[in-house]
Chains A and B, each alone.
Chain A
Amino acid sequence: MTTRKAELAMAVFLLLASIALMFKSMQLNIGWIPGRGPGAGMWPFYLSLGMALACLATLYRWFRGTTPQARSEEPFVAPDALPVVAITAGGLFGLLVSIHIVGMYIGLAAFMVFYLRFVGRHSWLMTTMFAVGTPIFIFCLFEWALTTTLPKGLAIFEPLYYPLYDLMY
Chain B
Amino acid sequence: MFQEILVHLGEGLLEAFQPLNLMMIFLGCFAGLFVGALPGLGSVNGVAILLPITFLVPPTSAIIFLAALYYGAMYGGAISSITLGIPGASTAVATVFDGRPMAQKGLADQALMAAAVASFIGGSVSIVLFTLFAPPLAKFALAFGPPEEFSLMILAFATFVGLGGDDIPKTIFSILIGLLLATIGLDIISGRPRLIFFDIPGFMHGINFLVLAIGIYGIGEMLWTLETTQGQVTIHSVKTSWSRFVGNLKLIKTYIGGSMLGSFLGFFVGTLPAAGATPASLMSYGLTKTFSKDPESFGKGNPAGVAAPEAANNSASTGSMLPMITLGIPGSPTTAVLLGGMIIWGLRPGPLLFSEHPDFVWGLIGSMYIANFVTLVLNLALIPLFVRVLATPFTILAPLIFALCVVGGFAPTQDMHDVWLMFIFGVFGYLLRKLDYPVAPAVLAIVLGPLAEASLRQTLISGQGSAAVFLERPIALTCFFFALMLVLYPVYQHFTRKKAKAADA
Docked Cα-Cα span, A50 to B157, in Å, equals 14
Docked Cα-Cα span, A111 to B228, in Å, equals 23
Asked if B180 contacts A44 (CB within 8 A), the reply is yes
Asked if A111 contacts B402 (CB within 8 A), the reply is yes
Task: Please name all residues of chain A whose beta carbon is closer than 8 Å to the beta carbon of B177 when the two chains form the complex.
Answer: 51
Question: Per-residue 0/1 for B234-266: is the Cβ within 8 Å of any A Cβ (1 yes, 0 no)?
Answer: 000000000000000000000000000000000
- B-side interface residues, number (CB < 8 Å): 58
Question: 8 Å CB contacts to A: which residues of B429-447?
Answer: 431-432, 434-436
Q: Among B56, B183, B399, B402, point to the contact of A47 (Cβ < 8 A).
A: B183
Name the residue of chain B whose CB is nearest to the CB of A135: B403
Q: Among B194, B227, B457, B461, point to the contact of A78 (Cβ < 8 A).
A: B227
A89 at interface by CB-CB < 8 Å: yes
Q: Knowing A51-B173, A69-B435 are in contact, say whether A138-B395 is a contact too (CB < 8 A).
A: no
A22 CB to closest chain B CB (Å) equals 11
Asked if A44 contacts B396 (CB within 8 A), the reply is no
Asked if B434 contacts A77 (CB within 8 A), the reply is yes
Question: Per-residue 0/1 for B440-472: is the Cβ within 8 Å of any A Cβ (1 yes, 0 no)?
Answer: 000000000000010011001100010000000
Interface segment, one of B29-37, B218-226, B480-488:
B218-226
Docked Cα-Cα span, A43 to B414, in Å, equals 28
B144 at interface by CB-CB < 8 Å: no
Q: Knowing A54-B173, A78-B227, A134-B403 are in contact, say whether A10-B194 is a contact too (CB < 8 A).
A: no
Q: Knowing A14-B173, A51-B173 are in contact, say whether A108-B436 is a contact too (CB < 8 A).
A: no
Question: Per-residue 0/1 for B300-333: is the Cβ within 8 Å of any A Cβ (1 yes, 0 no)?
Answer: 0000000000000000000000000000000000
Task: Please name all residues of chain B whose beta carbon is closer than 8 Å to the beta carbon of A149 when the two chains form the complex.
Answer: 414
Question: 8 Å CB contacts to B: which residues of A82-113?
Answer: 84-85, 88-89, 92-93, 95-96, 99-100, 104, 108, 111-112
Question: 8 Å CB contacts to A: which residues of B162-200?
Answer: 167-170, 172-173, 176-177, 179-180, 183, 187, 189-190, 192, 194-195, 197
Q: Among A58, A77, A95, point to the contact of B227 (Cβ < 8 A).
A: A77
Asked if A85 contacts B173 (CB within 8 A), the reply is no
Q: Among B398, B427, B432, point to the contact of A115 (Cβ < 8 A).
A: B398
A32 at interface by CB-CB < 8 Å: yes
Name the residue of chain A whose CB is nearest to the CB of B179: A47
Asked if B230 contacts A111 (CB within 8 A), the reply is no
Task: Please name all residues of chain B whose beta carbon is closer than 8 Å to the beta carbon of A77 when the two chains form the complex.
Answer: 227, 434
Q: Among A40, A92, A116, point to the contact of B396 (Cβ < 8 A).
A: A116
Task: Please name all residues of chain B whose beta carbon is closer than 8 Å to the beta carbon of A24 when the two chains form the complex.
Answer: 195, 197
Question: 8 Å CB contacts to B: which residues of A26-64?
Answer: 28, 32, 36-41, 43-44, 47-48, 50-51, 54-55, 57-58, 61
Name the residue of chain B whose CB is nearest to the CB of A148: B411
B112 at interface by CB-CB < 8 Å: no
Task: Please name all residues of chain A whose beta carbon is closer than 8 Å to the beta carbon of B406 when the two chains form the complex.
Answer: 92, 95-96, 99, 104, 108
Name the residue of chain A whose CB is nearest to the CB of B400: A134
Main secondary structure of the interface of A (DSSP, over half): helix
Q: Knowing A54-B176, A77-B434 are in contact, say whether A148-B414 is a contact too (CB < 8 A).
A: yes
Asked if B403 contacts A111 (CB within 8 A), the reply is yes
Asked if A68 contacts B453 (CB within 8 A), the reply is no
Docked Cα-Cα span, A55 to B416, in Å, equals 31
Question: Per-residue 0/1 for B409-431: is the Cβ within 8 Å of any A Cβ (1 yes, 0 no)?
Answer: 01100101001100100110001
Asked if B192 contacts A40 (CB within 8 A), the reply is yes
Asked if B53 contacts A141 (CB within 8 A), the reply is yes
B346 at interface by CB-CB < 8 Å: no
Asked if A44 contacts B195 (CB within 8 A), the reply is yes
Q: Among B179, B228, B410, B420, point to the contact of A104 (Cβ < 8 A).
A: B410
Task: Please name all residues of chain A whose beta carbon is closer than 8 Å to the beta carbon of B170 when the two chains form the complex.
Answer: 54, 58
Task: Please name all residues of chain A whose beta carbon is closer than 8 Å to the beta carbon of B465 when the two chains form the complex.
Answer: 32, 37-38
Q: Among B189, B194, B228, B416, point to the contact of A37 (Cβ < 8 A).
A: B189
Asked if A47 contacts B226 (CB within 8 A), the reply is no
Q: Among A32, A41, A58, point to the contact of B173 (Cβ < 8 A).
A: A58
Q: Among B219, B396, B402, B453, point to the contact of A43 (Cβ < 8 A).
A: B453
Docked Cα-Cα span, A126 to B396, in Å, equals 9
Q: Among A48, A122, A141, point to the contact of B395 (Cβ < 8 A).
A: A122
Docked Cα-Cα span, A131 to B192, in Å, equals 45
Docked Cα-Cα span, A116 to B223, in Å, equals 16
Task: Please name all residues of chain B whose beta carbon is closer than 8 Å to the beta carbon of A65 when the two chains form the complex.
Answer: none
Question: Per-residue 0/1 for B356-400: is the Cβ within 8 Å of any A Cβ (1 yes, 0 no)?
Answer: 000000000000000000000000000000000000010110111
Name the residue of chain B whose CB is nearest to the CB of A115: B399
Asked if B194 contacts A58 (CB within 8 A), the reply is no
B410 CB to closest chain A CB (Å) equals 6
Q: Knowing A54-B169, A77-B434, A145-B56 are in contact, say whether A112-B399 is a contact too (CB < 8 A).
A: yes
Asked if A10 contacts B431 (CB within 8 A), the reply is yes
Name the residue of chain B whose CB is nearest to the CB of A42: B457
Asked if B169 contacts A88 (CB within 8 A), the reply is no
Q: Knowing A99-B416, A142-B411 are in contact, say whether A39-B167 is a contact too (CB < 8 A).
A: no
13 other A-B residue contacts (CB within 8 Å) besides A32-B465, A88-B226? A3-B435, A37-B189, A47-B176, A51-B180, A54-B170, A54-B173, A95-B402, A99-B406, A108-B406, A111-B399, A115-B402, A122-B393, A149-B414
| 6 closest Cβ pairs, A-B complex | A120-B395, A57-B169, A115-B399, A54-B173, A37-B461, A81-B227
Q: Would you give 17 A-B contacts (Cβ < 8 Å), ordered by A?
A: A10-B435, A37-B189, A40-B190, A40-B192, A69-B436, A81-B226, A84-B230, A92-B423, A95-B402, A96-B406, A96-B419, A111-B399, A112-B399, A115-B395, A115-B398, A116-B396, A148-B411
